[in-house]
Amino acid sequence: MRVISGKYGSRRIASGRGMELRPTSDRLRETLFDILQDRMEGSFFVDGYSGTGAVGIEAASRGARLVVFLEKHRPTAALIRKNLESLGIRGGVQVVAGDVVRGLEGLARKGTAADILFFDPPYAENEEYTRVLESLENSPLVGSETLIIFERARKMRIEAGYGRLVRTRTVAQGDAALEFFGAA
């Protein structure tokens, strides 16, 4: 697995052999960041269910000022730290090990809206999509310009809206899809 573009472009990151991870494919990451390119510089980016950290690392590589990785499995959070260290990324990143919704609640207490919130829960854990959307519905993490993105299996469906959060776009690619939400 590699960083696609930006400051750390073409550099390799560990994928955690033997770990039950399903990293976002290079092709889907490239599509995602092609869509986000005008919003990356100086952004506050949250990578939920981070896995290897590939999406958040890509955000850092492309100019995000702060990337927060939320990962519930401690060994996987350690893999993210290892990947950050191997790339020499020391500033502008934070790895939070623990339940993703609790991590979001902790970030919300700081009172700053995120620019981009990206989530890639395990496809088999459908309830995680709902948990996250419900937690963000009235969260100070979501401002009027905040973009919320979910990666999901193409066959899976997510409700079109949760309170003030509404789906604005869907991009399908291969057996995966990206769902974009914003505040109405």
Domains identified in the chain and CATH numbers: 26-183 (3.40.50.150)
User: For residue 183, which phi and psi values (nearest 5 degrees)?
Assistant: -85, 135
**Range 149-174 burial, b when 16+ CB lie within 10 A, else e:** bbbbeeeeebeeebeebebeeeeeee
Confidence of residue 21 (pLDDT cuts 50, 70, 90): low
Confidence of residue 18 (pLDDT cuts 50, 70, 90): low
Distances (CA, A) of 104 to 26, 27, 44: 26, 28, 13
Q: How many beta carbons lie within 10 A of that of residue 105, not counting itself?
A: 13
Q: Cα–Cα distance between 71 and 47 in angstroms, integer?
A: 9
pLDDT digits (tens, 9 = 90+) for 41-97: 999 999 999 999 999 999 999 999 999 999 999 999 999 999 999 999 999 999 999
Cα of first residue to Cα of last residue in the chain, in angstroms, is 36
For the whole prediction, is pTM greater than 0.85?
Answer: yes
pLDDT digits (tens, 9 = 90+) for 102-130: 999 999 999 999 999 999 999 888 899 99
pLDDT of residue 136: 97
pLDDT of residue 2: 86
CB of 56 closer than 8 Å to CB of 63:
no
